[in-house]
């Protein structure tokens, strides 16, 4: 643990040491507790309490808590329940961070031609909650959620910008149509309360994001996913994010209660382990927050909190073409075509419509991502709790799509509005190590850059 | 299975259907069986037989074989033993492929300013053997090896070029100094027979390649690793590669025989599972062949043959600071400083010298990698059995180091001499899917590209 990071590590169960966690992670005397910063922090910390309490009630075991603060402002609280009665691993983490982003990233994100100096940096604030829960029973699905808020401060006479992002998605090992109707139905109802167009749009965005391209299948059975949301009044989007977060327990816990004592066979457990292997493949190979966190020297335990306790890779595993494993594969190989809820929610069963084949990878392949730099004035990159905080921008997407070439293009891609506050929160090694970690990522980068360039040159 | 790929799938044990595998994977009537192509193919197929026979003898179970051919030439043979008595998963794969590489890649690889047209392609040949073996017993180490040969044909009056690459490395869960002295000693003896400078050089190259930067530790306890070897007579390097390959069994199997019935505790098994998780992290996040294979639409089962049957991720796992797990961590966190063999081989015990801290990532972070395109004239990218065939080039390394900017720099990085025949051998999906897979890799690419660019701009 470096001197930069003040970490409070609490090993005892059930939030012992709770009194050591500050009432607020905002900057005392600087951030207005009644601003969106304050409201969002209170919301996610309330959700952390709510979700952890619901999980503990079902599981019978307690979360342990690791809390940390950063001297330059902000901090986080990670709660993990490992080897419980129902869950093999469940984690819920919140973080609140401050920093400054390069002006060019900002300019691209905002989509306006703002003049700036080479070294200009724009102050930002980011807060988020992130969670993954892996149960033991193969009839109980894994669930993941993430809600985040990002804003910049006023800069050069331009008012601060802001975006919301988030989503909740479910990853079962078997298709249980009733469960999926319940989960998707819950989120359709949430969306419909705010914008009737949102559920369909966000369901497809989720299918696209969680695609594992090399498998030609999604990680799970989706849910909702949104990014860069800033198309209406800030309070309205906050209300939507809050509504989403407040329905996590309702969307998930009844499914667990229903199945937690279901009997299962060795074959079913093995199949779950293989699907857990796919979960690892998605997170380590494609997930934006995870990759960025790993390559920028984040706190590894927080970044990889999302990985299951156990996973398996079985060479050329074949399933019974008539069996439930094949039915599952049919779903994840045609995620976009699955409609889990009808307009009259709750009355439609599994329907694989003849929807046109999705453009695999969808938006993701065009997403550009950015980065944040902390405000300790050490010029050090950091990432925040993985998957917790990031956003991308339609403007940078357009830039990527139009294929700006050369340094400019790469800089746009690299800097692009996207602010990947991919995770860490220190407890990081020293800044030199962090930079070394970044540099060391070069090999894989060039390799993947190749694949990228090849595709465009053919 | 697409129409392009003729796959022969043999499910029965012990090479049943062996008669369906061609005597040679060379192009009949075109490739000279007495050339290096022919000699190398015979060598690796002999090694495949030798290693599989030795493993079967110890395990008592048999490998199953999947063989495939490509209509445009070449093919491969994958052998996997899963859930045996001693190994949870062991795989040995050979492949032989032909194709053409973009002239620019070739130019950079060769390091000469050869004039070429935009669409020029240089024909190449590549062959390799690759293997990973994961035993059940935590006192039995995992072992990986890979030997490969790459050549181009004469082109524009310039004689064909060639490179050898390869290595054998070991990944135990505990430090057994005698075992490590045996393993490293075997390879030191092999190296010393060919060039007394090689062992030290190749041992350090191995430590550098298998570094997991985000953990600050190596995947295992090294061995030897060489790339782009073409600094002397071709037959001399072939003799060295052959000597290395012929000592795989001797370097590894005695260690397994010694420990396969060792008793072990639940704690030791759990620790092995955690180390298996690290193995997965290295292979999915950093291994050049694996990443390239995944992102270019290779045969997933062959690419991920290297992953263990079982692995575990435990949140913030702590080890006894006085215990054998900590001793292991001390080794993998200071891999370059470990000297397993003294000049008087076999007499030196574990010594952690005060070697200066390694430049983490070493050569790898500067490596540039390239690509190959198959010669079916479909303009389709393919990769070959993962980790089996690739090479990089000192010239492209220099280019990367000098930091050519913009499109030029990226093109150099992307195209660079390096020919990553990262693996596949078809049984790939259709060409459209393959291209989609490539395109879909854009997201992670831009993310890692960011980390790369960030590091150079700070």
Q: What is the mean pLDDT of chain A?
A: 74
Residue A220: Cβ-neighbour burial (10 angstroms; 0-12, 13-18, 19+): buried
Report yes or no: B294 at the A interface, CB cutoff 8 Å.
Answer: yes
Domain encompassing residue B294: 6-457
In a domain, B434, yes or no: yes
Which residue numbers in chain B have pLDDT < 50?
A: 1-17, 344-458
Note whether B450 contacts A370, CB cutoff 8 Å: yes
* Burial status of residue B197 (CB atoms within 10 A of its CB: 0-12, 13-18, 19 or more): exposed
Q: How many domains does chain B have?
A: 1
Q: Do B443 and A369 touch (CB under 8 A)?
A: yes
| B55 located within any domain | yes
Cβ–Cβ of B438/A451 closer than 8 Å?
yes
CA-closest candidate to residue A291, choices A274, A310, A304: A304
Query: Is pLDDT above 90 for A223?
Result: yes
Q: How much is the pLDDT for A393?
A: 34
pLDDT in the model for residue B384 = 31
Query: Domain for residue A51, yes or no?
Result: yes
Q: Smallest Cβ distance to A315: which of B89, B364, B381?
A: B89
For residue A233, give how far its alpha carbon lies from the nearest alpha carbon of chain B (Å): 29
ipTM value of the model?
A: 0.77
pLDDT of B368: 25
Contacts of A300 in chain B (CB under 8 A): 214-215
Choose the catalytic residue: A134, A144, A182, A259: A144
pLDDT at residue B355, as a whole number: 40
Which residue in A285, A311, A409 is closest to B444 by CB distance? Answer: A285
The pLDDT score that the predictor gives to residue A303 is 85
Within 8 A by CB and 6+ apart from A148, the residues are: A126, A127, A128, A129, A164, A165, A166, A388, A389, A390, A391, A421
Question: What's the pLDDT at B296?
Answer: 64
- pLDDT tens, residue by residue, A386-398: 233 333 333 333 3
- Distance from the B281 Cα atom to the nearest Cα atom in chain A, whole angstroms: 7
CATH number at residue B133: 3.40.1500.10
Distance of CA B40 to the CA centre of its chain: 17
Q: Do A442 and B361 touch (CB under 8 A)?
A: yes
- Cα gap A204→A180, rounded to integer Å: 15
All residues of chain B having their beta carbon less than 8 Å from the beta carbon of residue A437 are 213-214, 360
Closest by alpha carbon to B249, among B202, B183, B176, B189?
B183
CB contact under 8 A, B364 and A437: no
- Interface touch A315/B308, C-beta < 8 Å: no
pLDDT in tens, A137-159: 999 999 999 999 999 998 888 88
Helix axes B234-246, B248-259, angle to 10 degrees: 10
Tokens linked to B430: 């259709």
- What pLDDT score does A296 carry? 64
Helix, strand, or coil here: B45? helix
Residue A412 inside a domain? The answer is yes
Check CB contact of B453 with chain A, cutoff 8 Å.
yes
* Alpha carbons A3 and B86: distance in angstroms, whole number: 46
* Alpha carbon A435 to its chain's center: 24
Read off the pLDDT of each residue in A267-286 and give the average, rounded to a whole number: 97
pLDDT in tens, B260-269: 999 999 999 9
Selection from A142, A45, A125, A131 nearest residue A88 by Cα? A142
B354 touching chain A per CB within 8 A: no
Task: Answer whether B422's CB lies under 8 Å from B292's CB.
Answer: yes
Does B1 reside within a domain?
Answer: no
Q: Does B322 touch chain A (CB under 8 A)?
A: no
Q: Domain for residue A426, yes or no?
A: yes
Beta-bridge partner residues of A100:
A123, A373
Looking at residue B297, what is its pLDDT? 63
Q: Shortest CA distance to A181 belongs to which of A347, A60, A378?
A: A347
User: What is the predicted pLDDT for the residue at B71?
Assistant: 61
Provide the annotated active-site residues of B: 144
Would you state the pLDDT for residue A350? 43
Domain assignment of residue A36, yes or no? yes
Touching check for A286 and chain B: CB below 8 Å?
yes
Under the banding of pLDDT at 50, 70 and 90, the label for residue A73 is low
Which residue from B315, B407, B420 is facing A406, i.e. has the nearest CB? B407
Q: How far apart are the C-alpha atoms of A407 and A415, rounded to whole Å?
A: 11
Q: Is A307 on the interface with B (CB under 8 A)?
A: yes
Least confident of A25-39, A282-296, B157-171: A282-296
A432: contact with B, CB 8 A cutoff: no
pLDDT at A439 over 60: no
Encode pLDDT of A316-354 as tens digits: 999 999 999 999 999 999 999 999 996 544 444 444 443
Distance from CA of B291 to the nearest CA of A (A): 7
Question: Residue A316: which of B301, B311, B408 has the nearest Cβ?
Answer: B301
Cβ neighbours of A312 in B, within 8 Å:
309-311
How far does CA A116 lie from the centroid of its chain?
Answer: 31
pLDDT score of A416 more than 50: no
A216 contacts chain B (CB < 8 A): yes
Asked if the structure places residue B157 within a domain, the reply is: yes
Assess A3–B contact: CB distance below 8 Å, yes or no.
no
Task: Name which of A89, A364, A369 is nearest B450 (Cβ-Cβ).
Answer: A369
């Amino acid at each position: 643990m470096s001197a930069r990071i003040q970490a409070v590590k609490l090993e005892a169960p059930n939030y012992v040491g709770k009194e050591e966690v500050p009432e607020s992670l905002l900057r005392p005397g600087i951030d207005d507790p009644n601003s969106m910063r304050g409201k969002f922090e209170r919301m996610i910390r309330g959700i952390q309490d709510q979700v952890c309490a619901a999980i503990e009630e079902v599981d019978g075991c307690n979360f342990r808590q690791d809390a940390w603060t950063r001297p330059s402002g902000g901090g986080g609280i990670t709660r993990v329940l490992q080897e419980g009665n129902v869950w093999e691993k469940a984690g819920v983490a919140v973080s609140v961070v401050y920093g400054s982003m390069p002006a060019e990233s900002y300019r691209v994100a905002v989509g306006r031609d703002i003049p700036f100096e080479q070294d200009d940096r724009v102050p930002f604030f980011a807060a988020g909650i992130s969670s993954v829960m892996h149960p033991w029973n193969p009839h109980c699905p894994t669930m993941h959620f993430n809600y985040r808020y990002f804003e910049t401060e006023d800069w050069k006479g331009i008012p601060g910008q802001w975006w919301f992002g988030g989503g909740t998605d479910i990853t079962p090992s078997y298709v249980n149509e009733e469960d999926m109707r319940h989960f998707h139905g819950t989120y359709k109802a949430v969306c419909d309360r705010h914008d009737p167009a949102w559920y369909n749009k966000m369901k497809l965005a989720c299918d696209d994001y969680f695609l594992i391209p090399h498998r030609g299948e999604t990680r799970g059975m989706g849910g909702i996913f949104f990014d860069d949301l800033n198309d209406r009044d800030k309070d309205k989007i906050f209300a939507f994010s809050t509504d989403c977060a407040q329905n996590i327990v309702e969307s998930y816990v009844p499914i667990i209660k229903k199945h937690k004592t279901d009997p299962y066979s060795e074959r079913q457990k093995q199949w779950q382990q293989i699907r857990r292997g796919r979960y690892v493949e998605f997170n380590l190979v494609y997930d934006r927050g995870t990759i960025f966190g790993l390559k920028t020297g984040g706190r590894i335990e927080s970044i990889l909190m999302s990985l299951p306790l156990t996973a398996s890779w079985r060479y050329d595993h074949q399933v019974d073409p008539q069996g439930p494993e094949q039915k599952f594969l049919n779903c994840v190989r045609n995620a976009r075509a699955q409609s889990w809820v009808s307009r009259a929610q709750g009355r439609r069963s599994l329907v694989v419509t003849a929807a046109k084949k999705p453009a695999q990878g969808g938006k993701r392949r065009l997403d550009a991502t950015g980065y944040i730099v902390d405000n300790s004035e050490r010029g050090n990159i950091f990432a925040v709790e993985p998957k917790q905080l990031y956003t991308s921008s339609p403007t940078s997407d357009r830039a990527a799509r139009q294929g700006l070439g050369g340094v400019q293009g790469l800089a746009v891609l690299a800097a692009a509005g996207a602010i990947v506050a991919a995770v860490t929160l220190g407890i990081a090694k020293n800044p030199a190590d962090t930079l070394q970690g970044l540099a060391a990522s070069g090999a894989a980068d060039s390799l993947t850059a190749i694949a990228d360039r090849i595709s465009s040159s053919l």
